[in-house]
Amino acid sequence: MSESYIQNMFAERIGGANFGKDTVIYKFEKIKRAKMAAKKAHPGVEIIDMGVGEPDEMADAGVVAKLAEEAAKPENRGYSDNGIQEFKDAAAIYLERVFGIKGLNPETEIIHGIGSKPVLAMLPAAFINPGDITIMPVPNYPVLGTLTKWFGGQVVSLPITKENNFLPDLDSLDSDTRKRAKLLYLNYPNNPTGASATREFFEKVVRFAKENHIIVVHDAAYAGLMFDGEKPLSFLTVDGAKDVGVELFSLSKAFNMTGWRLAAVAGNELIIKGFATVKDNNDSGQFIAIQKAGVYAVEHLEITDRISRKYSRRHDMLVEVLREVGFDARKPKGSFYLYVEVPKGIKDGRRFESAEDFSQYLITEKLISTVPWDDAGRYVRFSVTFIADGIEEEKMVMDEIKRRLSDVEFEF
């Protein structure tokens, strides 16, 4: 086929005339390919998938029933624009009950999003002019940074490492960066590190934001999922936070609703107003029946409690198995991610050049899928969202991991 003129029309932000010709294979594609190859090479052996970043279960039966009921009502059929008040009111009550966020005005300080991903994608349109900076911890969930660049902005990275307790060192930023920075992205409990923030850190963030006139976007996608009596920590419960930022609460992980696409953005009224204007030009709101099912979900906190207990139990099991084979695995306070440093190699055997190399080894030789991160140290991310129906099956998965790893001695 001769080359279409369309090839020369792509915007520079997605590669210009070279769009689609990139020969670099990206991480997630590599994992997918390695999984397919491993399946082919070992047709009878099941892959243990610890790579996926979404729940293995469907939404709660009550939520599903509520959707069916609401979907059947003619009055719910149309555009919802910037959302129904009922969801915003329910979100305000939920945020106070679960996180202790007091005094939010559900009319002006809360808005829904069709998941938190599009919220992160749209916020730069409201704030980023060419040359402006978004500060991003590394590793990260990249959407806010990607869209910042698409709007002509720049991303400044701050590594989060074991040494800084996976909390970015804001003091390391130079004065030019502080002057040009408009957005600071934070995400706790964190994907991929599983780390939680501290109140002291959030207090410092508020001071830093006020001093330097920066907007804080705290992505609390995993905030409901806490273990062993740990209380979820909301950025908005810190004094002054509402003057400087917004916090994003997703129903995806805390209520097993990834495909449903529903989130709440809460915090500074002006930031929300700017976001609402951009949103109004991007979408026409989530289906009202889904928002109503979301109301049901946030009124039933036991759903998140049950999900958290499951992940907590799985973390306990996985930490034990990984420690037995030599990993320095530590259970996170929240989230479904277990982030562990990779071995240097195998005793008297191969060396691992990088986390990616190790992750490829795990999938190819052991049929265990993980996600590697080489951005700040060498780590793989295990997610306790692997498929298993109940404790007995979870134990079988763990026994199988132990068995597959028992014939090697890793060197760390």
Ligand X SMILES: Cc1ncc(COP(=O)(O)O)c(C=O)c1O
Closer CB to ligand X, residue 149 or residue 207?
149
Q: Which runs of consecutive H residues, i.e. helices, occur in 104-174?
A: 116-127, 143-150
Neighbouring-strand partners of residue 138: 159
| CA-to-CA separations, 227 to 72, 106, 210, 292, 386, in angstroms, rounded | 38, 29, 32, 28, 18
- Assess 112 for contact with ligand X (CB under 6 A): no
- Assess 146 for contact with ligand X (CB under 6 A): no
Q: What would the x/- binding string for ligand X be over residues 186 to 205, using CB under 6 A?
A: -x---x--------------
- Assess 265 for contact with ligand X (CB under 6 A): no
Q: Count residues contacting ligand X (CB under 6 A)?
A: 13
Distance CA 296, CA 294 (A): 5
Q: Which of 31, 48, 50, 53 binds ligand X (CB under 6 A)?
A: 53
State the residue for tokens 């009921």: 69
- Assess 145 for contact with ligand X (CB under 6 A): no
Q: Are 291 and 264 in contact (CB under 8 A)?
A: no
Tell me the window of 115-123, 203-211, 271-279, 372-380 that interacts with ligand X (CB under 6 A). 115-123
- Assess 141 for contact with ligand X (CB under 6 A): yes
- Assess 115 for contact with ligand X (CB under 6 A): yes
Tell which positions 224-253 bind ligand X, by CB under 6 A. 250, 252
Closer CB to ligand X, residue 249 or residue 352?
249
Which residues, 6+ apart, have CB-to-CB distance to 186 below 8 Å?
137, 168, 197, 205, 216, 217, 218, 219, 235
Q: Are 167 and 197 in contact (CB under 8 A)?
A: yes
Closer CB to ligand X, residue 117 or residue 333?
117
Tell which positions 55-74 bind ligand X, by CB under 6 A. none
CB neighbours (10 Å) of residue 86? Answer: 14
Tell me the window of 59-67, 112-120, 193-201, 278-286 that interacts with ligand X (CB under 6 A). 112-120
Which residues, 6+ apart, have CB-to-CB distance to 197 below 8 Å?
167, 186, 188, 233, 235
Tell which positions 202-221 bind ligand X, by CB under 6 A. 219, 221
Q: Tell me which residues touch ligand X (CB under 6 A).
A: 53, 115-117, 141, 187, 191, 219, 221, 250, 252, 258, 263
